[in-house]
Homo-oligomer: A and B are copies of this chain.
Amino acid sequence: MQTVSIAEVAQRAGVSTATVSRALSGRGHVSAAAKDAVLRAAHDLGYVVSSNASSLASGRTRNVGVVLPFLDRWYFTSVLEGAQQALMRAGYDVTLYNVSGGPELRDRVFEEFLLRQRVDAVIAVSLELTPHEVSRLLALGKPLVGVGGPIPDVRTLAIDDVAVAHLATEHLIGLGHTRIGHLGGRPEFDSDFHLPVQRRQGYEAALAEAGIPLDPDLVANADFTVQGGYHAAKQLLGAHPRSRPTAIFAASDEMGMGAILAARDLGLSVPHDVSVAGIDDHDQADFFGLTTVAQFPREQGARAVDILLEQLEPQHDHAVAADIPLPFALVVRSSTARPRD
């Protein structure tokens, strides 16, 4: 296929290449007539700018890198999808750096791929980064925003995990539960990634406020998956009927779904014998009737893009309500109810 160059457009429109560039990019002043002629010529010829030539000359790539640790979990792909759509709408491509392919590939992302001048900015999703990786990222000298995970020295978008967990637990307390179990994240998860700890703190705080003593036997840890939640919940629910929890607060919907399945397999009815609440509002939460605190990962991705675009294209003033805290909302479904007694 032959590629149409800017010179051909210029010739057909009867103007210089500079005017074509200006008309097409919107930077600099162009008369209405010239702009019209250029747009028509470009359209007729099927001209599309060469991103490489443009990037090389301008230093702008119109491409954003998204770095993330998994591609097979709902939260991550949802953030990615939200970011991708927002970027596309703004005319940006997104280059994907999935960092799960082992240490050598991970290193190359930070030492090579991100340095090739291919991106204008980077979005890092729930990444547990080493200090060295953070410094590499910062050394890029490009706008950088984190989503979901706390990255030292990097602006990060994340819900208030303590408040979210507090809200879910409060809901269960409000229904009259006093023996409330918790499915949390495993300790090894906590090191860089404070989410499990914070969600547990919210849980504990809500109990404390209600004057309910914390019972360590009612807490089990898993890995945020359905399967992990299933097995951990079986531990909690397998106890004496008198001592087992009447409600479970899971730190993720996937674990919550696992808890619902575990309850069924133990012959317990949800919500009659045990209520279950989660966090996320996962795609399948509705199907499971799972009460949850929704966070909105697609919006989080889009919000991250807003913040970046604000820095990349200050003139467009993208009315970013950047520092409004991220929203979350209790969604009550059929998995929670008053305790039986």
Known A78-B72, A95-B95; contact A117-B287, beta-carbon cutoff 8 A: no
Q: How far is the CB of A59 from chain B (nearest CB, A)?
A: 9
Listed by A's residue number, 21 A-B pairs whose Cβ atoms lie within 8 Å are A3-B117, A48-B116, A48-B117, A50-B56, A51-B116, A52-B52, A52-B55, A52-B61, A63-B95, A71-B78, A71-B81, A77-B77, A81-B100, A85-B101, A88-B109, A88-B113, A93-B116, A94-B95, A226-B284, A226-B287, A264-B264
B-contacting residues, A269-291, CB 8 Å: 283-284, 287
Closest residue of B by beta carbon distance from A80: B71
B-contacting residues, A75-106, CB 8 Å: 77-78, 80-81, 84-85, 88-89, 93-96, 98, 100-101, 105
A118 adjacent to chain B (CB < 8 Å): yes
Using Cβ atoms and an 8 Å threshold, which residues of chain B touch A140? 1
| Copies per assembly | 2
Interface 0/1 of A114-135, CB less than 8 Å to B: 0111100000000000000000
| CB–CB B98/A96 < 8 A | no
Known A84-B98, A96-B95, A118-B51; contact A1-B141, beta-carbon cutoff 8 A: yes
Per the bound structure, the CA–CA distance linking A78 and B78 in Å amounts to: 15
Per the bound structure, the CA–CA distance linking A94 and B48 in Å amounts to: 20
**Highest count of chain B CB atoms <10 Å: which of A51, A55, A80, A139:** A51
Contact of A105 among B48, B78, B89, B96 (CB under 8 A): B89
Per the bound structure, the CA–CA distance linking A132 and B3 in Å amounts to: 19
Per the bound structure, the CA–CA distance linking A109 and B84 in Å amounts to: 12
Number of residues from A at the complex interface, CB < 8 A? 49
Per the bound structure, the CA–CA distance linking A256 and B109 in Å amounts to: 38
A178 adjacent to chain B (CB < 8 Å): no
Q: How far is the CB of A285 from chain B (nearest CB, A)?
A: 11
Using Cβ atoms and an 8 Å threshold, which residues of chain B touch A88? 101, 105, 108-109, 113
Per the bound structure, the CA–CA distance linking A80 and B63 in Å amounts to: 19
| CB–CB A283/B50 < 8 A | no
Q: How far is the CB of A71 from chain B (nearest CB, A)?
A: 5
Using Cβ atoms and an 8 Å threshold, which residues of chain B touch A96? 80, 84, 94-96
Contact of A93 among B53, B84, B118, B287 (CB under 8 A): B118
A227 adjacent to chain B (CB < 8 Å): yes
